[in-house]
Amino acid sequence: MGDTPLLRFAQWYWPGKPPLADTCWVVATAARACGAQELLAALQGAGHGPLALLLLDEGGYEGPLPWVRMPALGAARILSRLKPRILLCLDDDPRARAAAAAASCPVVWVNGRAPELLSLGAVAVASEAVALRIGGGVVTGDPLSAWPAAPAAPADTRFCERFQAVRKAGRWVVYFAGTEPGEEALAYTTFLALSAGSGGLLALAPRDPGRHEEVYREAIKYHLTTVRQLRLMTSEVPSKTRVYYIESAEARHAMHGCADLIVAGGTLVGGAPLPPEPPVAGAAILAGPYPRNPLLMAAVDAEVVVSCADIADLARVAGTWLADAAGRGRMAQALGRWLASQPEARARFLAWFAEVSRGAA
């Protein structure tokens, strides 16, 4: 091959091997590239390789792809040397935008959320809600977060009949689902703020059954009329109940179909990521400032779940939604459509990417 300028460039910037011919270059941060390994493997398996990584940050990348770091300046220069077949942008970053603007090859954006991206390439969006907001894009679902089947919505509508007296009294129901340690106090704070304007019912379900007694004893200090689900002697919740305390997995799931508004547990305090658990269709869902669950984060990115900045913001947004039944219904429907389509999102994205790639041949 000889000591060509391209080879000297490769030896200077490239860890171990020269650039690949006819390559799909993935533009991403190290963290995003690591989180996208299943999608990248699927792309290679579908014949869209070879793939290489154009790294946007200084983070350590230890994945299987060969990589080169994107310079802070000079996107056009590096692209003229690498000669990509197609750019696959996983991160909306100023340097990624500069690369897209300088590229002479097709550019694909994954989970685009900004209207400006529509002028910088083909944009795959995660939901109809995003497409509507930015004014375009191809709705594929989120190919980075895939699961084999949509989570089933509650099927036992009889469970909701126990709230008939509460409904007849004209009261709303807010459900804090699957709370973690430290979140119950915030749930009560939010509920009391909401109740200042109108009366409602708080349904509360700690995620860990081992905490049921502890959380209940702590809740007594709020002096709110509380009914424990497993100790209710009749099926109907009395109309003056302020807190419905859920203590079984079956009721925890069924409650998703009964609430006016759901606040996702595990989102009110920070901490380590929670195990994957898709949001359940049934009502509009709000999240706190820490949507740690990977699949809930995907729903937030798809704009079918709203993540609030803090507890005050949560109370404000929840109050607005409780006063807007039509708006809540639209959000619940958007979430339901996204959940139903998400299991096929990766296959849908791969098929669309194949169409775009044909323009690079």
Is pLDDT of 13 > 70? Answer: no
Q: Mind listing the pLDDT tens digit for each residue in 146-203? A: 887 877 778 777 899 999 999 999 999 999 999 999 999 999 999 999 998 668 999 9
> How would residue 80 be classed by pLDDT, with cut points 50, 70 and 90?
confident
DSSP letters for 14-34:
SSSSPPPTT-EEEEE-HHHHH
Is pLDDT of 18 > 70? Answer: no
> How would residue 138 be classed by pLDDT, with cut points 50, 70 and 90?
very high
Helix, coil or strand: residue 230: helix
- Contact, 342 vs 150, CB < 8 A? yes
What pLDDT is attached to residue 62?
85
% pLDDT > 70, the chain? 92
What pLDDT is attached to residue 6?
40
Q: How far apart are CA 361 and CA 343, in angstroms?
A: 29
Average pLDDT over residues 284-305: 94
Least confident stretch, 79-83, 318-322, 323-327, 349-353: 79-83
Evaluated on CA atoms 240, 246, 252, 254, the torsion sign reads negative
Of 50, 47, 121, the C-alpha closest to 90 is 121
What pLDDT is attached to residue 10?
46
Q: Directed axis angle between helix 325-341 and helix 311-322, to 10°?
A: 110
Is pLDDT of 320 > 90? Answer: yes
Mean pLDDT of all residues in the chain?
89
What pLDDT is attached to residue 19?
55
Which residues touch 223 (CB under 8 Å, ≥6 apart)? none
Note the pTM of the prediction, 2 decimals: 0.88
Q: How far apart are CA 70 and CA 56, in angstroms?
A: 5
> How would residue 360 be classed by pLDDT, with cut points 50, 70 and 90?
low
Q: Directed axis angle between helix 184-195 and helix 212-219, to 10°?
A: 40
- Contact, 83 vs 10, CB < 8 A? no
Residue given tokens 């935008």 in the structure block: 97
Of 232, 237, 287, the C-alpha closest to 265 is 287
